[in-house]
Amino acid sequence: MQALRVDRLSDDLSGLTLADVPPPDRAPEEVLVRVRAASLNFPDLLMTRGGYQFKPEVPFTSGLEFAGEVIEADPASGFAPGDRVMGSNKTGAFAELACIPAGKLSLMPRGMDFPAAAALGATYATAFTGLVEQAQMQEGDWVLVHGASGGVGLAACDLTRALGARVIATTGSPAKAGRIAALARPEAVLVAEGRFRDRVAELTGGRLADIVFDPVGGDVFDESTRCVAFGGKLVVVGFTSGRIADIPTNVPLIKGFSILGLRAGEYARRFPERGRAIQSAIAKLAEEGRITPAIDRILPLARWREGFEAMARRELVGKVVFQPG
């Protein structure tokens, strides 16, 4: 079968090849799935460089998230051949076949196609865990979402609106503002440069943001500490800017806000029941048509480089989905 292999770590994708490899051997607790679509997440890019907190040994098959059809499963797994499923593991999705523990699979939402299902799981679980589970988002809250053109950022905007809170989206790429506005339909799209706190104050009638959802870090995080309301929450999601910010601990004390560290995957591993509840809540919202993942482009897996480069060059508004075969 064809699989996108990372043979060595590299900063320029030169360590990746689309190779013919033997099909995976299924362990009894695993389910064998024919991958119909798999989506690219920022951690996939970081893993090709050795820059993610999880560092798989090379060689490995890239890709953490996919949707497809079950080919083989033990009856005890709860899955049967032909089931349309979506799953997320740390690696192995960018291939024609994937083997995955049954606990990391769920049935696709009814009515959803494979590309949308492949783009749904990781980003919406990240947004849901951060906003709903950890920050306890309420209807009417003002939520400032950074990196809003990204997969996680757009999911956070979409989920916030679906749950009746108000979104202010930010981007570091002014040219993307129109597309973000059309997809995320926020109250406003701000360019996250300089002192954007004044615009947040203006938009919220002086209240500031009840929740800041920050996948960017660096200067954006620094300014965010000025955008969060008293009693508010600043959710640390990631560091796409490349800089992990330092913050003196008197800042959250004086301003009375909390900093929450988000690790959505680890949260679901430690609290499997909550993880399943989050997946069900997301599937229900998707089935009701209240959330829809934004897809920037769908590419055959053979054009994997185009997708990875577009992400690295920060060109995307929404997800890249690969289709093997």
Question: Footprint of ligand NAP on this chain (CB under 6 A)?
Answer: 41-43, 122, 126, 147-153, 171-173, 176, 215-216, 237-242, 262-264, 311, 314, 316
CA proximity to 202, closest of 190, 214, 217: 190
d(CA 129, CA 307): 27
Written as six digits, the tokens of 210 are: 């009840």
Find out whether 316 and 293 touch, Cβ atoms under 8 Å. no
Written as six digits, the tokens of 132 are: 């709903």
* Whole-Å CA distances, 194 to 190, 239, 251: 11, 18, 19
Nearer to ligand NAP, 114 or 124 (CB): 124
Least distance in angstroms from the C-beta of 69 to ligand NAP:
25
- Map residue 16 onto helix, strand or coil: strand
Residue in the shown chain whose Cβ atom is closest to ligand NAP? 150
Query: What is the helix (H) or strand (E) element at residue 146, kind and residue range?
Result: none
Query: What is the helix (H) or strand (E) element at residue 134, kind and residue range?
Result: none
Instruction: Give residue 92's identity as a one-letter amino acid code.
Output: G
Instruction: Transcribe 242-279 into DSSP letters.
Output: S-PPP--THHHHHHT-EEEE--HHHHHHHSHHHHHHHH
Place of tokens 């089935």: 287
d(CA 79, CA 92): 19
Least distance in angstroms from the C-beta of 162 to ligand NAP:
18
Find out whether 36 and 93 touch, Cβ atoms under 8 Å. no
Task: Determine how many CB atoms are found less than 10 A away from the CB of residue 80.
Answer: 12
d(CA 34, CA 98): 7
Nearer to ligand NAP, 197 or 314 (CB): 314
Helix ranges (DSSP H) in 29-149: 42-49, 114-118, 121-128
Nearer to ligand NAP, 120 or 311 (CB): 311
